[in-house]
Amino acid sequence: NRQWRLKNRPVGMIDENDFSWHEEAVRQPEKDEVLVRSVYLSLDPTNRIWITDMPQYMEPVQVGDVMRGIAIGVVETSEHANFAPGDIVSGMWGWQEYATLPAQQLTKIPSDLPVPLDAWTSVLGPTGMTAYFGLLDIGQPKQGETVIVSAAAGAVGSLVGQIAKIKGCRAVGLAGTDEKCNWLTNDLGFDAAVNYKTTELDKAIAEACPDGIDINFENVGGKILDTILTQINMRARIVLCGLIANYNSDEPVPGPYHFAQILMQRARLEGFIILDYIPQFPHAIAEMATWLAEGKLKYKVDVVKGLKEAPTAVNYLFTGRNIGKLVVQVSDL
């Protein structure tokens, strides 16, 4: 069983040398345990948070541990009545080819929905749930409102804009390349997209949001959040989903200087962690799967082949090389 273990806590961007490559024998399951083989490993911006020792929403990964990660795999051997060889499951067994773990740490992927397996890494997995509950529960969109989303061509952001459209809103995305902006407006139905690297951001946002901003789905923070704050409407909602601009920095990035706008516009800013919504996932999965089948939702999975690539590929999330959901394909199904 080959695996990546955390060797030391990174400073700045992750370096392959922050992890060590281990090989050990696969352990056969004991009573109530299951042996799984990894197929997809999800790479997520929060991986960078888990390997710091800052206060966070889960225990940090300890130096020496197998790197934590959300994965999808197939059951090889089972010593638990609810799982059988061939079942497709998800869990948090991390950056390794095989895992032997208690059955209660696994969730079966429903086999009754006619969707490809990669949909469970994206639109029907934690990524899709984040877009769904973040926008609908925290953002409370109303028909005709303007929704702006940062990191819009990423896994979560690309779904947020599409759900905003389903709810009758104007959807505006911010992304770091023209290729990403074109994907948002041409393929996903966003009303406007702004390349935050090549435009004068405040002017470009003002043009894309002529009626101001009612909901900001914030994935980035820093300068982007700051500029958006100057254009929020009265009673705007700011869905604080992520602050990726901060994750590689030991110091908070400066700003937002315009924080006072939250007060001036009587806006509501609310952070959320998707884990709190797990009991409500089945309802959301059913609705998202319906939108998928109706062609109202599209998703893209950006696949990197081979577990060995994980420490290098995780940085694509910070350089913006990924489009849509970034995953590592560890093995074929």
Backbone angles phi, psi at 328, to 5 degrees: -105, 130
Interface residue with ligand NDP, options 164, 175, 229, 304 (CB under 6 A): 175
139 counts as binding ligand NDP under rule CB under 6 A: no
The C-alpha atoms of residue 73 and residue 127 are separated, in whole angstroms, by 17
151 counts as binding ligand NDP under rule CB under 6 A: yes
CA 317 to chain centroid: 10
Q: Which stretch binds ligand NDP (CB under 6 A): 5-13, 21-29, 31-39, 271-279?
A: 271-279
The C-alpha atoms of residue 41 and residue 302 are separated, in whole angstroms, by 12
Q: Which stretch binds ligand NDP (CB under 6 A): 184-192, 226-234, 261-269, 317-325?
A: 317-325
C-alpha dist (Å) from residue 64 to 16, 93, 332: 15, 15, 28
Strand pairing report for 33-42 and 170-175:
unpaired
The C-alpha atoms of residue 172 and residue 194 are separated, in whole angstroms, by 8
192 counts as binding ligand NDP under rule CB under 6 A: no
Spatial CB neighbours of 252, under 8 Å, sequence gap ≥ 6? 246
- Least distance to ligand NDP from the beta carbon of 165, Å? 18
322 counts as binding ligand NDP under rule CB under 6 A: yes
Interface residue with ligand NDP, options 34, 135, 244, 267 (CB under 6 A): 244
The pair of structure tokens assigned to 131 is: 């877009």
- Least distance to ligand NDP from the beta carbon of 229, Å? 16
The C-alpha atoms of residue 158 and residue 166 are separated, in whole angstroms, by 13
146 counts as binding ligand NDP under rule CB under 6 A: no
- Least distance to ligand NDP from the beta carbon of 268, Å? 16
- Residue 274 or 285 having the CB closest to ligand NDP: 274
Torsion sign across C-alpha atoms 314, 109, 25, 303: negative
- Residue 26 or 240 having the CB closest to ligand NDP: 240
Strand pairing report for 268-271 and 232-240:
parallel
125 counts as binding ligand NDP under rule CB under 6 A: no
In the complex, the residues that contact ligand NDP under the rule CB under 6 A are 44-46, 127, 130, 151, 153-157, 175-177, 180, 219-220, 224, 241-242, 244-245, 272-274, 317-318, 320, 322, 326
